[in-house]
Structure 1
Amino acid sequence: MNAKKLVSGFFVALLAAALFVGAGAAADTIFVYENISNQDKYTGTWFLEGGNSQVTFSGDYLSGDNIKPGLYKQNATENADSVYISYPDARIEATANGASILGGTVQDDAVVTFNLYGITSGYEKVNESSFYLSFVDPDGTRTSMLGGVKGDIVDNNTITFNLTNATSAVKSGEWKVQANLKATGEVGQLVNATPSKYTYGATVYTFTIVDDDYDIAISADTVVMSNDFKVTLTGTPNSYARLYSFDSDASKIVPVSGQPGVDIGASLGVSTDVSNLKNGTWVKITDTGSKTVTLKINGDDGKYTIRAMFYTLNSSGFPVKLEDEEYTAKITVIEGEVTAEADKDFYYLGNDVTLTGTNTESDNIWFYIKGSNVDFQPLGNIKTSVKSDDSWEEEIDGSVFTNYDAGTYTIYAVSADLEAVQKTDSEKDVFEDLDEYLNDYSYATVSVALKQPFLSADLSATVVAQDSDLTISGTAESADQLMFYVFGNNKFASGTITVEDDGTFEEEIDIDEDDYATGQYFVVIQHPMYDKVFNVGPIYVKEDGTEVSTNPDYIQVGNKLNANIVENTEGSYEDVDVKTASSKILFNTGKRQSANAAEALCQALDTQNIDDIYVKASFIVATPTASMNPVSDIAKGSKLIVSGTSNMAEGEVVTVEMLSTAFAAIPKEAVNSASFMSVTTKVKEDGNWEVSIDTNGLNVDEYTLSATIGDIKTSAVIVKVTEGTPATPDTPANPDTPDTPVTPDTPDTPTEPSTPGFGALAALAGLGAVAVLLLRRE
């Protein structure tokens, strides 16, 4: 027989999910560490269906801690052989009186039947000869016995425990049970080398054994006011119990609606009022001998006693007591807690206010506000749900605060709907009896300062060259959009500006030469303020006065006769549209001089019946200019500083060129040469520019120097690069060094004259001309 031991080629972590098991199904099942020495067909590499894992068979059993359970195929073809690989496990079902006890309770005298199945539906039952049941009793002791009966699976994968006839005492409490594959080393069972952690089934089931006595138990000793708690009743299967309380706030203890077998008094003909424990609520015990009921208490904090009596039905179907004893359980109700905090110390009116906190008392938070001359009142009728971790968060829309003046306000986060509370107490006014209502519920307060929004705006320049951009930038709190207007001689333009989340904005206006003549222009930037409404705005019209546009969402450039400035004090804007039905024309831009039109707009915005604010500014459009400062001759090797000014926009490229007057053609791929130099820089914010040119690579010669900015070129100047050594700092003399004797001068050694260049020839020509003039004078 070939040795078959699994070599793991997995790239996955340990799976925490259901495992596939079952023998005789569409595919075989192999458990990790199961002896498969009788199965020769499992050789080579098999691949996980739908995954990227693979395994290689090479031994009598599979081993490893990182094997991913699932269906493996020998290759990718549709009809390829397949096998399920998983860790040892089986699905357990346990019933008593036809009902499952797993996760529930069972009487200590019940007959309990356990069945084993494949872990996934659709697979046959597991081999009963390979599995057995293992229990952990309420004391934590592991055992294979329950009531003196061993948990070996018998015919049809079934074993039955009759707890009434138990040969040993059955402990009450929570039990655990697992389906374990036997580890005898035989074929189909676990090998002896199986790690102990795999000798027990992967799935742990629980059930609780209770004695035949009647009982009532509460899930916790304490519960937060208005929260749920659970009461478990134990008694004769299919009997009945009545839950009630004599406490003063018993009417505020109510069963949560929608529970089967709860609030059934009306069907028994014993009660029609079952909404609280003051009158009592009837419950049916299940066929497993227990029933868990969820209750909610809305009363005051303190100790409460929940009571129960157990009943059966007589021949007439009417409840009669099983015994006269009353069973009780106590619970302490404590006040819940609400916390709240704001994400900022202050907000601008119109901005959203974000509040966060916790609430352990109820499932929702309601908000109220109080301030100077503002009585305690609901804040926008807002209700926020509390998350499962007791936290909550609410972003209150800024429009909720537009009816309040700037100032400091107290926001209340309350665990109850006080308006609903008021309706149950018609003789009281929630605003007059605030403290009395709040004392019944948990709440937290947050102090919030509301400030007036503001607008600041700057222009990128006061003088703008044609064909440059003018940038409007600044800060606008509590606004999503701004409007801007430009007025000039026979010129009107307007548009919108988007405000970023941090309150900053920036808008560029193209000062095109064809659209903006030289001259002065006035700018107005408008903020809609609290109501988010532009109460003054432009409507573009045809020459006959017909309105054609109410949404100038781009810069409108054209004849100023095309715009009416209107006021809207009713309704609201939709994407800065002016609703003309409720608007009136303030003036037409064509009937005002530029400065007058700008001032008329500002006066309209100054009106106190609207809340809009604005900033105004002006700028001058000028013909583009560029100049270069005077430049002196420079010794070769020194830095040549060239500077100048321009009214063009900051960042405009400046190109400075030096060209020898003896310039001849150079290779076209060269950028610079000994006779040519080109350097670039940019115009600074103040309009100045400057470059530094390294003259080390230049010839001693005469050069033409010029600068180009945009389409403008400065006048050229002549600068000479002369022979010479740049000045260097003096080196201090060493006083300790003796003087060196002076060497007598020696006659100069004649040198062969070099061929003069273009510059040298020009100099010689100049000397010759001077000589001629001197001769003529003589």
Structure 2
Amino acid sequence: MKSTRVMLIAALVVLAALTMPVMARIGYDTIVSGDTVFIYEQVNLCGLGFTQNGQLFALGANDEVKDTFSFTNCSDVRIPSTVIQNQPYYNGTTISGSAYVVFKKPTLNIDVMASNKLDVLNEKTVTKGTPVYFRVSSNVPSGFNVTTSPPYVEIRFTNPDGGSVNVFGNVSTFATQNLTGEEEFIGLVDTSNVKSGTWKVQALWKSTAPFNDLYNRGVDSSAVFFTIGAAKPKITVSKDEVVRGTSFTATITGRGSTAYWLFVKDASIECSEYVMIDPFGSGAQPGVTPIYAGDNANMANMSKSGDTPADCNGTMARVTTNAAGTRTISFNTNENTKDRTFTLVVAEVGDEPNDDSVNIKVVKGKISIDVEGDKVYYVGEEIKFIGENTESDYTYLFIVGPNLGDGKSLDDLTAPGSTEVEVEDDNTFEYKWDTGKYTLDAGTYTIYAVTKNVTGKDRLNSSMLWATMSIQLRKPFLTAEMATTRLAKGDKLVITGKAEGKPGSVYIWVFGPNIMGSLLDQLMDVSQSVEDDMSFKWEYENTGSLSSGQYFVVVQHPMYNGEQDVERRGNEVFNKVFNRTEFYVGGDRTRLMGSDAAEALVQVLNQPNIDDTYVKLYFMLEEGYINIDAIGDQYIGDKFTMKGTTNLAVDDTLIITVTSASFRPTEKTQASEFSGASGTVKVVKGTSVENAWSFDVDTTGFKPDQYIVTVECVETGTTATTTFTVSEVPPATPTTPPTTPPV
């Protein structure tokens, strides 16, 4: 087994072979250790230590043989395409001390380049007269001493008529091109006299030595296409039609690095109504020099095109194309842009009459407004307005309704105006309006969404777009109820209801005998959250610890301002509006209890400066009871229903057991003497103030005996008992048939 140290050294040798700089071959056919050899080459490998036949080994880091390559004549070896690329091949089976070569696939590429040698023009249009380079790149020169034996390629063109030539423009040396480096720029080629149309160009390995080995081996460059266009400049736009408030681009195509006039044709409208170069200013856009309003000299030159430019800032510029002969310019529109067709013109700078134009149509955008919900809300609720605006960057909202005149801002209902809402990139907007901040009366209101900032509906005009929608505001109200007004001790006290207006909470006050100490926190001014559907449910489970008697409940709604204006602070009932204590419900001071305290709270809530509303409830808290209706005597096999009444809550669970009164242990050899029945039932709502229950009994299988009935409530522990008797079915009395005397 090789040691780890030996394996590490081997790995480093392989890594060094792969990463060391490629050695330049002195001769194209004489190879020495470390040279790069290209697939398809025919070379002399005797310099690797062979005299005639031989074998090369592709070795891994631990001398593992990955591939072998055999030959019979080391002086004339053709490299096949099956060898592993970029993998050292050794003349022995160990890396240490062996000579090696590296095989690579030859690459060849060609590109059409602008005069700056940076912009690639493949698949693009080159304006006639724009000079171009042809860039040829290959990995082959890196493997040779290019001074003594440079590679040769041919640049072959296919013209628009389909003819194959190696002459292009004013350059006729494309037939044989030396590659003295990995990248060569051939040209600069003047395209002024080149035939217009689409051309194809390809770099091919020459069929002459020394690189005839690569000729016709499928390793030539891929074909590249480009188009020679007419010298006349062209202008195109990114869209034929744009919605007012959106942007677009115009692209000029002409000679490379050439200046052209660009302007919007005069339309006899206000300057603010034109499409505009945006951004506009010195250096704002690459290659774009602004021409400002009143520049009569430049405007006169532009007019040589036969079209008159609009004399406005943002409508004229001197545009210089890049080396590839193109330049893209950004334009913008806004809510002031006229909805019409505009003409953009590109023209030669100078006396040349060459020009081109394109139309761009600007159309009105649209605006809409809606709300989340059913358009009916309660004062105090938050309303979310949503909409779409393709016309402007901002939407302006105002409200019209009773005593609001021509409209008021949603932010300030005391003065004319509108609320500015930013439009998102997807043309949508939204605004959340808290109606609880304002003293709005119930009624119907109209919301306007406008593309311009106006102070009311009387300022609307044809220069803007608007949309409307109506909402109905209602006064918040409160409903609350209990399932029963008679509550058994131990049952839950449950209060349910709806608080319209979506307050965060309602507040429960329970007044009754001896509510003091810790009971104040449990029963007086208890906050209960309101659900999204405006419902609430409050439960109190500890009724078993309360005294029997009459209780009074006040459910408080904070109403418009969302604030609880009257609250309990310790033993005090405090009026927050007037900042004063109204009365006491606990402590050593004279305190109000029961109905007096409930009535005092109601009177405070009724004060005109308190906007809170309320609902009053009451209930009787009683000791729980269960009544069992009388059960008559039964016979074995009878089926009957036992039933009764109770003050226990609906859905309380009752456990019913029917047990033989003579139940006693039996001998092991005897059958059981026990018989009876058991089960559970729920309390149901009765037909009067009491609730009801019932339980079905089948006496089949009962023994004759007296039976004890026990009914017990799971929730409260309340019980009741009674008895009834089950007897054998009496035997039938024989019937004597009548005798008929003889006649």
The CA deviation at 1:713 is 5.1
Is residue 689 of structure 1 aligned with residue 693 of structure 2?
A: yes
Q: Give me the whole-angstrom Cα distance separating, in 1, the residues matched to 2:549 and 2:239.
A: 83
Q: Does 1:219 align with 2:238?
A: yes
- For 1:724 and 1:435, locate their aligned partners in 2 and report how far apart those are by CA, in whole Å: 97
Percent of paired sites with the same residue: 27
In the TM superposition, residue 254 of structure 1 has moved relative to its aligned partner by 2.6
What are the Cα deviations for residues 750-778 of structure 1, in whole angstroms up to 9, with x where unaligned? Answer: xxxxxxxxxxxxxxxxxxxxxxxxxxxxx
Q: Please, which of 402, 421, 446 is the counterpart of residue 372 of structure 1? A: 402
* Correspondence 1:533 to 2:563: yes
Match 1:402 to one of 438, 442, 448: 438
2:599 is paired with a residue whose SS is: helix
Give deviations 1:692-740, integer Å, cap 9, x for gaps: 1333343343211121124545443222233449xxxxxxxxxxxxxxx
Aligned-partner Cα distance in 2 for 1:604–1:207: 89
What is the SS of the residue equivalent to 2:555?
A: strand
Match in the other structure for 1:481: 505
1:719 aligns with 2:724: yes
Matches within 5 A, 1:66-81: none
Partner of 2:484: 461
Question: Which amino acid is 1:530 matched to?
Answer: Y
The 8 Å contact of residues 625 and 712 in structure 1, kept in 2 or not, is answered as no
Q: Mapping of 1:376-525 within 5 angstroms? A: 376-380=407-411, 382-390=419-427, 392-399=428-435, 402-416=438-452, 418=453, 430-431=455-456, 433-436=458-461, 439-478=462-501, 479-491=503-515, 492=520, 493-514=524-545, 516-525=546-555
Residue equivalent to 1:111: 132
Structure-2 separation of matches of 1:117 and 1:532:
78
Q: Which residue of 1 aligns with 2:95?
A: none
CA contact (8 A) 2:276 2:315 kept: no
Equivalent residue letter for 2:263 = Y
Q: What does 1:543-622 align with in structure 2 at a 5 Å threshold?
A: 562=571, 564-569=572-577, 583-590=579-586, 591-622=591-622
Kindly provide the amino acid, as one letter, of the partner of residue 609 in structure 2: N
2:270 to 243, 246, 249: 249
How far apart are the structure 2 equivalents of 1:458 and 1:303? 67
Q: 1:336 aligns with which of 362, 365, 371?
A: 365
CA distance in 1, matches of 2:384, 2:202: 51
After superposition, the Cα gap between the structure-2 partners of 1:400 and 1:719, relative to the gap in structure 1 and judged at 3 Å, is closer
Contact 1:519 1:620 in 2 (8 A): yes
TM-score (norm: length of structure 2): 0.63
Q: Letter of the aligned partner of 2:409 in structure 1?
A: P
1:485 is displaced (CA, Å) by 0.8
Q: Would you say 1:98 and 2:121 are equivalent positions?
A: no
Kept in 2: contact 1:308–1:327 (CA 8 A): yes
Give secondary structure in 2 for the equivalent of 1:598.
Answer: helix
Aligned pair in 2 of structure 1 residues 357, 279: CA closer, same or farther (>3 Å)? closer
Residue type at the aligned position of 1:249? E
Partner SS, residue 537 of structure 1: strand
C-alpha spacing 1:157/1:704, structure 2 compared with 1 (3 Å): farther
Provide, for residues 498-549 of structure 1, a one-character-per-residue CA deviation record: whole Å limited to 9, x for no partner: 10001111010234333x2111111111111121111111111xxxxxxxxx
Shifted more, 156-165 versus 372-381: the winner is: 156-165
Residue 657 of structure 2 aligns to a residue whose secondary structure is: strand
**Cα distance, 1:372–1:224 mapped onto 2, change above 3 Å:** same
1:171 aligned to which of 197, 201, 208: 197
Q: Conserved in 1, the CA contact under 8 Å of 2:488 and 2:647?
A: yes
Query: Is it true that 1:232 corresponds to 2:237 in the alignment?
Result: no
Structure 1 residue aligned with 2:352, among 323, 334, 338? Answer: 323
Per-residue CA deviations over 1:170-203 (Å, capped at 9, x if unaligned) read 537xx99999xxxxxxxx9xxx9xxxxxxx99xx
User: Deviation at 1:589?
Assistant: 2.5
Q: Gapped runs of 5+ residues in structure 2?
A: 1-17, 21-56, 61-80, 83-107, 140-150, 204-213, 299-309, 412-417, 739-743
Q: Once superposed, what is the RMSD of the aligned Cα atoms?
A: 5.1
| Distance in 2 (alpha carbons) for counterparts of 1:235 and 1:156 | 32
Q: CA deviation at 1:212?
A: 2.9
Q: Residues of 2 paired with 1:165 and 1:328: CA distance?
A: 24
**Which amino acid is 2:127 matched to?**
Q
3-state secondary structure, aligned to 1:212 = coil
User: Structure 1 residues 157 and 538, CA, compared in 2 at 3 Å: closer, same or farther?
Assistant: same
Q: CA 1:137–1:646 in structure 2 vs 1: closer, same or farther (change >3 Å)?
A: farther
Once the two structures are superposed, the pairs formed by residues 235-384 of structure 1 within 5 Å of their partners are: 235-245=254-264, 246-247=266-267, 248-252=269-273, 253-257=275-279, 259-261=284-286, 264-265=289-290, 277=313, 280-298=316-334, 299-311=337-349, 321=350, 323=352, 325=354, 327-343=356-372, 344-374=374-404, 375-380=406-411, 382-384=419-421
How far 1:588 sits from its partner (Å)? Answer: 2.0
Paired residue type of 2:538: E
SS at match of 1:600: helix
| 1:171 maps to amino acid | G
Deviations 1:300-339 (A, max 9, x none): 212222334444xxxxxxxxx3735554332222111112
Return the alpha-carbon distance in structure 1 between the equivalents of residues 513 and 184 of structure 2: 101
Cα separation, partners in 2 of 1:465 and 1:295, compared to 1, 3 Å: same
Larger gyration radius, structure 1 or structure 2: 2
Distance 1:309 1:641, change over 3 A: same
CA contact (8 A) 2:291 2:317 kept: no
The 1:240/1:477 distance shift into structure 2, 3 A limit, reads: farther
For residues 660 and 137 of structure 1, the distance between their equivalents in structure 2, rounded to whole angstroms, comes to 116
Specify the SS of the correspondent of 1:339: strand
Cα drift, residue 681 of structure 1? 1.1
Alpha-carbon distance in 1 for matches of 2:662, 2:202:
101
Kindly provide the CA deviation profile for residues 234-273 of structure 1, in whole angstroms up to 9, marking residues without a partner as x: 2333333443332323444333338532664499x9899x
CA contact (8 A) 1:235 1:310 kept: no
User: What's the CA shift for 1:599?
Assistant: 1.5
Q: Unaligned stretches of 5+ in structure 1?
A: 1-23, 27-37, 42-59, 62-89, 119-128, 180-187, 193-199, 312-320, 420-429, 541-561, 570-581, 726-741, 746-778
Q: Give 3-state SS (helix, strand or coil) of 2:410's partner.
A: strand
Shift of the 676–743 alpha-carbon distance from structure 1 to 2, 3 Å rule, reads: closer
Structure 2 CA distance for partners of 1:113 and 1:538, relative to 1, 3 Å: farther
Q: Aligned with 1:627: secondary structure? A: coil
Aligned length: 550
In 2, distance between residues paired with 1:347 and 1:160?
77
SS in structure 2 of the partner of residue 626 of structure 1: coil
What SS does structure 2 have at the residue aligned with 1:260? coil
| Offset of residue 407 of structure 1 | 1.2
- Mapped contact 2:488–2:649 kept (Cα < 8 A): yes
Cα distance in 2, alignment partners of residues 643 and 178 from structure 1:
104
Structure 1 residues 717 and 489: CA distance shift in structure 2, 3 A: closer
Q: TM-score, normalised by structure 1?
A: 0.60
Alignment-derived partner of residue 640 in structure 2: 640
Q: Distance in 1 between matches of 2:159 and 2:513?
A: 97
Given that residues 233 and 346 in structure 2 are in contact (C-alpha distance below 8 angstroms), is that contact kept between their aligned partners in structure 1?
A: no
